[in-house]
Amino acid sequence: MPIITAFLIPIHPRFSSLTLAFWTVIAVVYFFNSLITQNQSLRIPRLSFLFKLIGGVSTLYFAAMCIGMFWTEERTEGWFTLEVKFSFLLLPILFLQLISASFDSLWKQRTKRAFQCGLLTYLGWRFFEALWAGDWSLLRYDGFAGPFHPSYMALYLLTGILLSSVRDALGKAVIVIGGLAIGLLASKAGWGVGILILGVESMRRLKGRQKDVRWLLASVVLLVSGAWWADGGRMQEFQSYVGQESSTDVSGNASGELIKTVDSVDPLEEHASVKTGSTGGRMQAWNAAVQVIHTHPFGVGTGDVSATLAEIYEQEGSLYAMNKNMNPHSIWMQVGVRLGWLALLSMITFFLVFAWKAIQSGAYKIALLTLAVAMNGTVESLFELQQGVVAFLFFGLLLSSERKVDEEDQNL
């Protein structure tokens, strides 16, 4: 089941939920069958510290969200949130049972390759659909991402590249085509994180396998080329907000929109007259999230995030964020708004400790993937959708379950 799950993760967001349901049924049947037959193949596994850490924190996070239901007013939204986040509890249990069984370790390598095959299948489908329709807009941004969020898919592709080697044709294809695809997705976070992580990975492999470095650098070149073609003004919009303080007098509500101070103008009408892009929308969401965290030290509860932010959007005249009902668009802001300061500091501590322990144990791929998730998660609520929770927790548990650094990492 982990092999099938890995293949379907990048095919469609709903497929991974279906495979987890089937996987759970199989796991339950296997568990009771083992009890009846007194199967001796079940054993207490020797787990790595990284696996214990990510599995334990994942379970505690779900437990904290359950506790957050006690002060939630939007009960229906709270239960829906717990349903989406149930994978934080389910996946560690499924992986623990899988590791406890007397299976050989080949399933882990096959799972990685299945994910790479899934990525190439997804890319082939997207290219074919664009060519068949003759619509080049299907080769950029959300048109290319299809049913996925562009930032999520960019991280999927980066994960596939990190798991690839040029020793086989599959690895070469993922490295090269994956870099181009990250560029075409036109996710600013995907561009920045992709170039940084691929650059670090190139330097890491420089010592042992220079051939890998050439392919990785080619991937970076294709990423930049794809980004240049698919940009469509997204970088200009971002740059306008970076330099806004020197070019315009921004209104005091800090909503993130470019608004010049003009007397006798209604703020809401002025907001409506200014076009706000995704960067401005994020600034509005972050501003609102900071206000909530400041006034609610224990968070607003599991299900009240959207309702609380919507009130601030309306008060501030943040029309872009209000119309799109934006979440905080940051894993840090999201947990802070939902569960308060303690949960926010705990999540930051977890990422720092997990990355540091991965480096200490020589698991550099895990460390780089953790860095990529942390950086992308700063501007995207990666753990709010099932396509984020399942994918990144799945590979975190998979890679951290390997007690020994793989042969490639040992050579580098």
What is the DSSP annotation of 117-184? Answer: HHHHHHHHHHHHHHHHHT-GGGGSHHHHHTTS-HHHHHHHHHHHHHT--TTSHHHHHHHHHHHHHHHH
Please, which residues have CB within 8 angstroms of residue 331's CB and are 6 or more apart in sequence? 347, 374, 377, 378, 380, 381, 382, 383
Choose the weakest-confidence range: 35-49, 145-159, 265-279. Answer: 265-279
| Least confident span in 259-263, 319-323, 353-357, 384-388 | 259-263
Whether pLDDT at 400 is above 80 = yes
Indicate the pLDDT class of residue 234, thresholds 50, 70 and 90.
low
Write the pLDDT tens digit of every residue in 76-130. Answer: 999 999 988 999 999 999 998 888 776 666 888 889 999 999 999 999 999 999 8
DSSP assignments along 37-105, one per residue: HT-TT-------HHHHHHHHHHHHHHHHHHHGGGG-S-HHHHHHHHHHTTHHHHHHHHHHHHHHS---T
Q: What is the pLDDT of residues 164-214, one digit of tens each?
A: 887 888 888 999 999 999 999 988 888 999 999 988 888 887 776 667 788
The pLDDT of residue 1 is above 70: yes
Element (H, E) at 289: helix 278-295
The domain ranges of the chain are 2-30+44-232+340-411, 235-339
Report pLDDT for 48: 84
Share of the chain above pLDDT 70, in %: 83
pTM attached to this predicted model: 0.82
Residue 246 scores a pLDDT above 80: no
- Give how far Cα 149 sits from Cα of 10, 142, 245, 313, 323, Å: 11, 7, 30, 23, 18
As given in the structure block, the two tokens for residue 66 are 């359950």
Q: Which region among 68-72, 78-82, 214-218, 256-260 has the lowest average model confidence (pLDDT)?
A: 256-260
Average pLDDT of the chain?
A: 81
Q: What is the pLDDT of residues 11-23, one digit of tens each?
A: 998 888 888 888 8
